[in-house]
Amino acid sequence: MELMYKSTRSDETVTASQAILKGLASDGGLFVPTALPELKVSVEELSKMSYKETAYAVMKEFLTDFTEEELKSCIDKAYDSKFDTEEIAPLVKADGAYYLELFHGATIAFKDMALSILPHLLTTSAKKNNVKNEIVILTATSGDTGKAALAGFADVPNTRIVVFYPKGGVSPIQEKQMVTQKGSNTFVVGINGNFDQAQSGVKAIFGNKELEKEMDKAGFQFSSANSINIGRLVPQVVYYVYAYAKLYAEGEISKDEKINVVVPTGNFGNILAAYYAKNMGLPINKLICASNDNKVLYDFFTTGTYDKNREFMLTTSPSMDILISSNLERLIYKIAGCDHEKNQELMMLLSKEGRYDITDAMKEELKDFYGNYSTEKETAEVIKSIYDKTGYVIDTHTGVAAEVYKKYVADTNDCTKTIIASTASPFKFTRSVMNAIDSKYDSMGDFELADELSKIANVEIPKAISEIRDAKVLHDTVCEVGEMENVVKKFLGI
Ligand SMILES: *Cc1c(COP(=O)(O)O)cnc(C)c1O
């Protein structure tokens, strides 16, 4: 039977491929599967599968309007030599936990796990729905998503991608990663403005009906690679299933033994994928939600009140510096008993007043979750202590998760075996990581620091870093905020 996708804010219902094409529902809601499918294969069978085979076993349950051939072809194109290990997502045992390394893709952060397959899911969805136009992806980035989207869409037929970033508002390495991007369908533009202006500019272009008509005439249509797209969420369920089966295959856990999962969280996409895996039947005990100083989610899990009215903190784990976790809406909808009116009411409160309270009955439904946070000091200390004890070096986001795991064990004495989602390579946040280990590194340049990290961690410098060292700058367009639309038109030749 076909699995349909429904908006969290109305009765709008579409197929999987339509949900991927649309991204967001017309009413502003997020698409959720009308029922969470069950995992049809046993752990025994899964334990013998490769990453790609696991991806097929999991994703076919969600994307039921894709044929076997279509889905397998998407998976093959995504999880290939762009990853530096055939395992795709290796598990490393260190300091009493299993680190699930989700950073072996093109941009050495976990966004690659989904963004390497999304372009293929999107172009397949376009074909299935008789969309003849070329898909133009528009993205505003504060650093990480832009590069991961560029790497995913580069040279994918029938797509183009335009990324806007705040000139001077991203790290030198992040900028270098983007402006050296290859692929004739890629276009990177710095804007004289901040990230919010870049994002508002992109939203205005998306909302421009005149432009939409003009684009359609010229054979183009816009789409988004945003993290609320169901095509980004579904591929993330895969690695939790894969990791569980691997623990079983290696004799680390027995049949049906429950595990905990810790996820360093920002937009709530990654941890929601783990929750979906649990709902599919994967034996997960607690879902541990780790926050940095922007601890909106910790407060939400402890009090039942979501309140974004607070100071925004800049931390050394910037991909988690978020006050509105957009994917949380999918959980709210579910714990409200899949009541879209109740969800709509809470989301309206969030946009009008910046806060909402959930009911006691909804709070009951959150028992699967545990939330806590790590301060800047604690994150630095845990990176150093794990390195001192084991020689293993983790990045700052993973550091937040490692610290929250320590707090969880101290709070509960729960000794269930635990997977920690390791969301970025330490080479992506070299300066903060090396400073945490020893202040003597502070005076070194970025690439010099990478050399040092390689030495102390005994890990080769990832290609993502070594290849940009001497790479040629291929994108040097800079524009004013007001010129963004014209820049896009010029790139498309309309
Ligand atoms: C995006 C990101 C996160 C947060 O993931 P969400 O799915 O948004 O919760 C954590 N760590 C890193 C390195 C990221 O890039």
Domain map (residue ranges) of the chain: 91-108+231-463
* DSSP code at position 426: G
Q: Which of 398, 367, 305 is nearest to 103 (CA)?
A: 398
Q: Decide: 111 in ligand 1 pocket, CB within 6 A.
A: yes
CA–CA separation, 295 and 281 (whole Å): 29
Hey, is 77 helix, strand or coil?
A: helix
User: What's the CA-to-centroid distance between 482 and ligand 1, angstroms?
Assistant: 30
Name the one residue in this structure whose structure tokens are 């030599």: 81
Beta strand pairing call for 5-7 and 13-14: antiparallel
Q: Atom 15 of ligand 1 has which residue's CA nearest to it? A: 319
| Sites in the chain below the pLDDT cut of 70 | none
Report the catalytic residues: 111
In this predicted structure, what is the pLDDT of residue 42? Answer: 97
Q: Decide: 301 in ligand 1 pocket, CB within 6 A.
A: no
Beta strand pairing call for 355-357 and 305-307: antiparallel
Q: Atom 14 of ligand 1 has which residue's CA nearest to it? A: 319
Q: Decide: 266 in ligand 1 pocket, CB within 6 A.
A: yes
Hey, is 140 helix, strand or coil?
A: strand
Q: Which of 2, 153, 163 is nearest to 78 (CA)?
A: 153
Q: Decide: 399 in ligand 1 pocket, CB within 6 A.
A: no
Substitution site in 102, 141, 319, 429 for ligand 1 pocket (most atoms within 8 Å of beta carbon): 319
Starting at the edge strand found earlier in the chain, the sheet holding 477-480 runs: 220-223, 134-140, 159-166, 186-192, 477-480
pLDDT tens, residue by residue, 422-466:
999 999 999 999 999 999 998 998 889 999 999 999 999 999 999
User: What's the CA-to-centroid distance between 289 and ligand 1, angstroms?
Assistant: 12
Q: Which positions ≥6 away from 16 have C-beta within 8 Å?
A: 3, 4, 5, 62, 63, 64, 65, 66, 125, 230
Hey, is 408 helix, strand or coil?
A: helix
Q: Decide: 319 in ligand 1 pocket, CB within 6 A.
A: yes
Substitution site in 30, 108, 110 for ligand 1 pocket (most atoms within 8 Å of beta carbon): 110
CA–CA separation, 386 and 61 (whole Å): 38
CATH class of 91-108+231-463: alpha beta
CA–CA separation, 461 and 454 (whole Å): 6
Q: Decide: 320 in ligand 1 pocket, CB within 6 A.
A: yes
Helix ranges, 373-440 (H): 376-390, 396-412, 430-437
Contact present, 287 and 263 (Cβ < 8 Å): yes
